[in-house]
Amino acid sequence: MGEAGGGSPDKRELDLTELEVAFDRAITKNHIWMAFQPIVHANQPKTLFGYEALMRSRDPQLVHVGLILDAAERLERTTQLGRMARAQVATEFSKATAERGLVFVNLHVRDLFDPTLTSPFSGLTRIARRVVLEITERTSLEGIEGLADRVAELREIGYAIAVDDLGGGHARMGHLTPLDTDFVKLDMSLVRDLDSHPVKQRLVKEVVSLCRESGVRVIGEGVETQPEADSLRDLGCDYLQGYLIARPGPPFVDPV
């Protein structure tokens, strides 16, 4: 649903009552909004492939997305937050021209089984063939029953599936095989200073080779420098995302 950042958290942790008041305010006062960051072709960095939708907050207490996500988990309201975010994405992207490409939408693992993802009355379902559901870095897939069947159902509707942060965090590819996956995103810890780290370069090359054999496309995210972008391109990465391309912003930011 979004990447952390954009402000300093309240130093004192709110109790559950205070947290619920703050969370309700953020929801009802439209303090939560969706930014969109471009994703471009690695070989043609001015050519747009799509966007990632990233949650942002302007709430005075839940001042960045990490606090919003933590609040939703503590209050057991991740479903409500996810539905609200996806509704905003659907509203914005349903108006976008075909030239804007695909939209990557972050999912909490619980949201994979949300019935609104497959409801014909859902705005996101109506544009499913332009949507990539991205399993976020905050969650593990360990012990999730029926995962492969649910992913197959979502792909049948038209959604594509992305595995986030490959090379860092949870080992998602142990649970989602290449047959279940359309895209993988390289963890930014692999991307950072890639041009000056031979070990990282070998690892990225191996990942790209394995993905290519399975028809899975690779996105390098968190790209901040031209040498990082050049290295990812030379190693066979398909797409690039990061501040070098453009910062997230209101719909729709163009690559710089």
pLDDT at 28: 94
Two structure tokens written together for 243: 């501040």
181 lies in a domain?
Answer: yes
Provide the residue range defining the domain that includes 185. Answer: 16-241
Residue 79 CA to its chain's centroid (Å): 16
For residue 148, is pLDDT > 90? Answer: no
What DSSP assignment string belongs to 167-207? TSSS-GGGTS-GGG-SEEEE-HHHHTTGGG-HHHHHHHHHH
4 lies in a domain?
Answer: no
Nearest one of 256, 253, 250, 254 to 89, comparing CA atoms: 250
pLDDT at 7: 44
Give the separation between CA 124 and CA 152, rounded to whole angstroms. Answer: 17
pLDDT at 4: 42
7 lies in a domain?
Answer: no
pLDDT in tens, 135-146: 875 555 666 778
Helix, strand, coil shares, percent, the chain, to 5 = 40, 20, 35
254 lies in a domain?
Answer: no
Nearest one of 132, 127, 42 to 90, comparing CA atoms: 127
pLDDT in tens, 117-129: 999 999 999 999 9
Two structure tokens written together for 34: 């969706």
CATH number at residue 185: 3.20.20.450
Give the separation between CA 240 and CA 77, rounded to whole angstroms. Answer: 33
Residue 34, H or E segment = strand 32-41
pTM of the model: 0.89
5 lies in a domain?
Answer: no
pLDDT mean across residues, the chain: 89
pLDDT at 5: 44
CA angle 130, 163, 39 (to 5 degrees): 50
101 lies in a domain?
Answer: yes
Of 91-105, 111-125, 175-189, the poorest mean pLDDT is in 175-189
What's the number of domains the chain is made of? 1
Two structure tokens written together for 25: 């305010």
253 lies in a domain?
Answer: no
Two structure tokens written together for 142: 């360990």
pLDDT at 170: 43
For residue 205, is pLDDT > 70? Answer: yes
Nearest one of 241, 4, 243, 247 to 101, comparing CA atoms: 241
116 lies in a domain?
Answer: yes
pLDDT bracket for residue 43 (50, 70, 90): very high
